[in-house]
Amino acid sequence: MKHWSLKQRLTTVSSIILFIAFSIIYFATQSAYSIASKSRLQESMTAQVYALMAVANDDQGQLFIPDILRNERLENLSSGLVAYVLQDDGSLVWQSPSSELFELLPDRTQIFSMQKITESNFEGRDMFWIGESIIWEHEDNQEKTYIFIVGEKQSILTSAVDKFKNEVFAWLSISGIVLLIVFAYALNFSLTPLKTAQRQIELVRMGETKSVEGEFPEELIPLTSSINQLLESEARQKSRFRDSLGNLAHSLKTPLAIIKGELERESKTEKTDILKAQVERIDDIVRYQLNRSVISSGRTLVKTCAVQPEVTKIVDALKKVYKDKGIKIHNRIADNTIFPGDAGDLLELVGNLTENACKWTNSIVVISAKHKEGNFCLYVDDDGLGIEEKNREAILNRGKRLDQSTEGQGLGLSIVMDIIKNYRGEIAIENSALGGALFRITIPLDE
C-alpha cells in the first residue's frame, strides 16, 4: 500500500465508490420495480375478481358464472392465471378452464384478501392469490357466502423483474465502464503536471538538466521552486567551495613553488636535501587534503551522471599529455552506462586510475565500464609489468608509494580510495588480460 502510486490510489478509490453507488442504485431500482409490478399485478387481479362478480348470476338459489366474459388467459390452460368461486364450505361453484391443470382446489381456510396478495405453493407452483368473500342474497332470500379467488403464478412477476434486472445491470455496467474510461482520462489530465515534475526531477537526478523546468499548477509551485532553490544553492555552494579551495590552493602552493625554486638554484647540500624533502611533504599533505575536499561526501541530490562524456574528457586530456609515450588509450564504455554519483568524483576516479595506468603501461590503456548485478563497474587495464600480488595490499593503503621515481601513485590512489569509501564501493587489483595490471572498481547502483 505504501508504494502505491497516486494513480493507483485514485483509481482504486474511485472504482470502489463507483461500485458501491451502482450497487445501491441497482438494488433500489430492482426493489422499487418489483414493488410496483406487484401492486400492478394486484390491481389487475382485483379487476379480475370484480369482473367475475359482475357477471355472476343467480340461478335457482345457486350462483352461476356464465361463459361470457372474459379474459382469454382464463380460457388458456397454460396461461398461469386461474380463477375459482367456492362456497364457504369449500365446495366448488365455478372454476376457470385454465385452472383445470390443477387437481386440487385452493385451500378455503387460507385468508384471501383484496388488500394483500397471499403467496403459497399450489401443487408445486408458486402462486399469488387474491380473493374476497361475499354474501350473496339469492332470489329465495337465502343468503350464502361465496369466495371469489383469482390466482396468478409468481413466475410472471419474477420473469418481468428478472428482465428488468438484466436491463438495469447492462445499463449500469455500460455507464460504469464509460465512467471509468472518462475517469482515467480525467485522471491522466489532472496528474500530467505531477508526471512532468517527476520526469523533470528524474532528469535533474540523471544530471541532464540543472533545474526543474516547465509550468506547474499552483499546488505544485512551492514544491518545484523549493527543489530548484535547493539545487541552485547546492550548485552555488559547490562552486563557491571550489573557488575558495582554488584560492587556498593558490595561496599555499605559490610560496611552496617559490621555496622549491629557490632551493633548486642553491648548490646541492645535505641541508637543501632536507628542506626539499620537507617542502615535498608539505606539498603532498596540501595536495591530498585539497583534492579530498573537492570530492563529494558520496550521494547528493543529483544522483547520477553519464559515464561516456566524462571518460572522453579524461582520455582526450591524457592523450595530449602522454602523446610522447605513444600510448593508445581506449575508451570502451558500454552505452548508457551511468555513474551513481557526482561527475566530479567520476572524473577523479577515472583520471587518477588512468593516469597511473599511463605511467606504468607499455603501449595500451583500456578504460571500460558497465552495469553488472546492480553495481557500477569500472575497469582500467594496462599492458605494463603488472603488480605482484604481495604488493597489491600495500598499494591500496593510503599514501604508500611503490616506486619513488614515478610520483603521484600513492596520492592519486588515496583519493580514489576515499571516493570509493564514500560510495561504499570496492577496489581490487588483478592481472589484466593485456599482461599488466587491472584496477577494478565496483560501486552499488542503489543504496
Chain positions contacting other proteins, by CB under 8 A = 242, 245-246, 249-250, 252-254, 256-262, 264-265, 279, 283, 287, 290-291, 294, 313-314, 316-317, 320-321, 323-324, 326, 344, 347-348, 350-352
- The C-alpha cell at 80 is 398461469
Nearer to other proteins, 73 or 253 (CB): 253
Distance between the two ends of the chain, CA-based, in angstroms?
A: 22
In the complex, minimum distance from the CB of residue 18 to other proteins, in angstroms, rounded to a whole number: 57
Q: In this structure, what are the phi and psi dihedrals at residue 377, rounded to the nearest 5 degrees?
A: -115, 130
In the complex, minimum distance from the CB of residue 352 to other proteins, in angstroms, rounded to a whole number: 7
In one-letter notation, the amino acid at residue 247 is N
In the complex, minimum distance from the CB of residue 419 to other proteins, in angstroms, rounded to a whole number: 11
Measured distance CA(202)–CA(124) in Å, rounded: 72
Q: In 10 A of CB 117, how many CB atoms?
A: 20
Residues 6+ apart with CB under 8 A from 90: 105, 108
In the complex, minimum distance from the CB of residue 331 to other proteins, in angstroms, rounded to a whole number: 14
Closest CA to 383 of 430, 428, 433: 433
Nearer to other proteins, 187 or 245 (CB): 245
Q: In this structure, what are the phi and psi dihedrals at residue 15, rounded to the nearest 5 degrees?
A: -65, -40
Nearer to other proteins, 183 or 322 (CB): 322
Nearer to other proteins, 105 or 286 (CB): 286
Measured distance CA(227)–CA(443) in Å, rounded: 27
88, 146 Cβ separation under 8 angstroms: yes
In the complex, minimum distance from the CB of residue 287 to other proteins, in angstroms, rounded to a whole number: 7
315, 329 Cβ separation under 8 angstroms: yes
Name 149's bridge partners: 84, 131
In the complex, minimum distance from the CB of residue 279 to other proteins, in angstroms, rounded to a whole number: 7
49, 82 Cβ separation under 8 angstroms: no
Nearer to other proteins, 87 or 308 (CB): 308
Measured distance CA(147)–CA(85) in Å, rounded: 6
In the complex, minimum distance from the CB of residue 239 to other proteins, in angstroms, rounded to a whole number: 11
In the complex, minimum distance from the CB of residue 230 to other proteins, in angstroms, rounded to a whole number: 22
Whole-number Cα distances in Å, 322 to 329, 352, 401: 10, 14, 21
Nearer to other proteins, 172 or 249 (CB): 249
3-state secondary structure of 298: coil
Measured distance CA(365)–CA(380) in Å, rounded: 7
- Strand 338-339 relative to strand 305-306, pairing: antiparallel
Which ranges of 268-408 would DSSP assign to H, the alpha helix? 270-294, 307-321, 343-360, 389-396
- The C-alpha cell at 117 is 396478495
Nearer to other proteins, 59 or 262 (CB): 262
Nearer to other proteins, 12 or 406 (CB): 406
In the complex, minimum distance from the CB of residue 377 to other proteins, in angstroms, rounded to a whole number: 20
Nearer to other proteins, 342 or 381 (CB): 342
Measured distance CA(365)–CA(60) in Å, rounded: 130
Measure CA 206 to chain center: 21
In the complex, minimum distance from the CB of residue 374 to other proteins, in angstroms, rounded to a whole number: 27
Measured distance CA(86)–CA(81) in Å, rounded: 17
Closest CA to 51 of 74, 32, 29: 74
CA angle in degrees (0–180, nearest 5) for 20-21-25? 115
Nearer to other proteins, 219 or 324 (CB): 324
In the complex, minimum distance from the CB of residue 265 to other proteins, in angstroms, rounded to a whole number: 7
Nearer to other proteins, 253 or 371 (CB): 253
